[in-house]
Amino acid sequence: MNEKIHPADRISPVSSQATYTYTNTANSVDDLEKLEILPQILQEGILFAGSGAALLLQAAFPGIKATFEESNIKTGNNTTYLANNLSDTLQSALSYIACLVFGTTEEKKRLLDLLQKDQSPFQRKKLPSDPLTQLWITATVYATATDFYQRIYGRVDFRTAEKAYAEFTTVLSCLNIAKDAWPPTRQSFWEYWDSQIERLNVSAESHRVAKTLLEKNDFPGWVNVMKPLLRAITIEMLPPQLRDAYGLKSSAKTRGLYRGAMGFSVAVYPALPASMRGYPLRFYLGDLRGQLGKT
């Protein structure tokens, strides 16, 4: 899972004269209004197809259950609680990012004001307070979205990839997510990623969480409709050592579904109306807007 995929570009490249900087300090809403590359990437709803792989990568993070318990997010002894916490947390993170990238100026200000006061719009979907766990959760979002985007549209050029990473860093800085731990450069991110992949531990608990997640049927409707396909994509996107550790088999069926999905995505998906391609994004943004209206 990296950014070394096949060549082709579907986003407007960054000019060779463009300048930008990385920062892990808090940014204003004005900085969010200047995002250029991230909106072009995240508007593609198909990127959410990588969420299954992100969840299983999170479930293998050492001490993930204890971290949720320390953050007063109930897990108990029931694996279902942890599976629900992971899926809820991921949906919460996606909703926050969707709002900060695509929301109105007032929505962005409202969300940041609530989060600054530690008042999550989603009372049951709070991010764990541990910065290292926050780092890994958000890292899986960035890595799986980057990976899946380039599997469909091809590898972006160096400067554009650098700009996209800088903008993602800006979003996380506004959210105060992993503020002091997020890698300052794209190179340092992939170094962190590779080292962390080696440290992941697929425990018996991870196995149970994976089984629960793969069998859950209370996801958004569009997810449940696509579950067989998403399961195949999840299996094929996982690093081989993790896939084997989870006991998930890459079979002729999963490879066929995956190749069919990628073939469709490359040949047909880009030509679909923006309203269809962006539905998952609108779902998460709409969910957050509904919660903001209640606070």
**What's this model's pTM, rounded to 2 decimal places?**
0.83
What's the pLDDT score for residue 270? 67
What's the pLDDT score for residue 243? 92
- Give 220-255 pLDDT, tens digit per residue: 666 666 777 788 888 888 999 999 999 988 888 888
Q: How far is CA 214 from the centre of its chain?
A: 17
Q: From CA 281, how far away is CA 42, in angstroms rounded? A: 8
C-alpha closest to that of 46 among 5, 100, 85, 10? 10
What's the pLDDT score for residue 59? 94
CA distances from 219 to 83, 93, 132, 214 (A): 12, 15, 27, 11
Buried b (16+ CB within 10 A) or exposed e, 93-116: bbbbbbbbbbbeeebbebbbeebe
- Give 246-286 pLDDT, tens digit per residue: 998 888 888 888 887 777 666 666 677 777 777 778 888 88
Q: Which two tokens stand for residue 103?
A: 């929301």
Residues of the chain under the 70 pLDDT cut: 1-27, 46, 71-78, 123-126, 218-225, 264-270, 295
Partners of residue 7 on adjacent β-strands: 155
C-alpha closest to that of 68 among 2, 20, 130? 130
CB 1 within 8 A of CB 148: no
